[in-house]
Amino acid sequence: MDALIEKLKKQIIEQLNLAEVNPDEVSADSPLFGEGLGLDSIDALELIVLLEKHYGIKIEDPKDGKVIFQSLRTMAEYIKAQGKG
């Protein structure tokens, strides 16, 4: 799980152009939105694309995103649960 979380962290920082974010300061349980990484609604769409592009996972119901994108850990758990991690 830890390796997947680290991989996700790098992918998110790269895909979302979070140039001033120090990966070492982002914990697995930090909120992705609001505080923590401070992502916005467009970033949420980009995370949906990231899951599809890198893990072949399609989120059909946008409401699921609220739970899946809480933190790096919840994302990693979701990917594992889909048998893709």
Read off the amino acid at residue 78.
Answer: Y
Q: Which of residues 35-54 bind another protein (CB under 8 A)?
A: 38, 42-43, 45-46, 49, 52-53
Cα gap 59→44, rounded to integer Å? 12
CA–CA dist 80, 85 (Å, integer): 5
Q: Which of 1, 10, 17, 81 binds another protein (CB under 8 A)?
A: 17
Is 14 among the residues that bind another protein (CB under 8 A)?
no
- Give contact residues for another protein (rule: CB under 8 A): 16-21, 38, 42-43, 45-46, 49, 52-53
